[in-house]
Amino acid sequence: MMNSIDLIISARQHLAEAMSLIDIAGTMKPKTGHWFDVGSLSCRCSNCGCKSTKEFNFCPHCGADMRGRDDEHSY
Ligand SMILES: [Zn+2]
């Protein structure tokens, strides 16, 4: 049978696990970016700087969401 100290330690460990899961969820937030240096043949990703042949909705290299605009970064 667990005594109260063990229960407190166990609860704290669960809390720490829950907090780390929240941290992971926060870093999993999709990256956003936009295309710059847009020319007739290529454009570049503001997030990873790669060249792409087309303005995709998502960067094919880093996966950043390109549908938003830069003002998404302001908050
Ligand atoms: Zn990219």
**pLDDT tens digits along 6-49:** 888 888 888 888 877 766 666 666 789 999 999 999 999 999 99
Cα 14 to averaged position of ligand 1 atoms, centre (Å): 36
Cα 72 to averaged position of ligand 1 atoms, centre (Å): 16
pTM score: 0.54
Largest CA distance in the chain: 72
Cα 38 to averaged position of ligand 1 atoms, centre (Å): 14
Cα 23 to averaged position of ligand 1 atoms, centre (Å): 23
| Closest C-alpha to 65, from 73, 56, 53 | 56
Question: What pLDDT is recorded for position 75?
Answer: 46
Instruction: Answer for the pair 43, 34: CB distance below 8 angstroms, yes or no.
Output: no
Give the domain ranges of the chain.
Answer: 1-29, 31-75
| Phi, psi angles (nearest 5°) of residue 65 | -80, 115
pLDDT digits (tens, 9 = 90+) for 39-75: 999 999 999 999 999 999 999 999 999 997 655 454 4
Instruction: Answer for the pair 62, 54: CB distance below 8 angstroms, yes or no.
Output: no
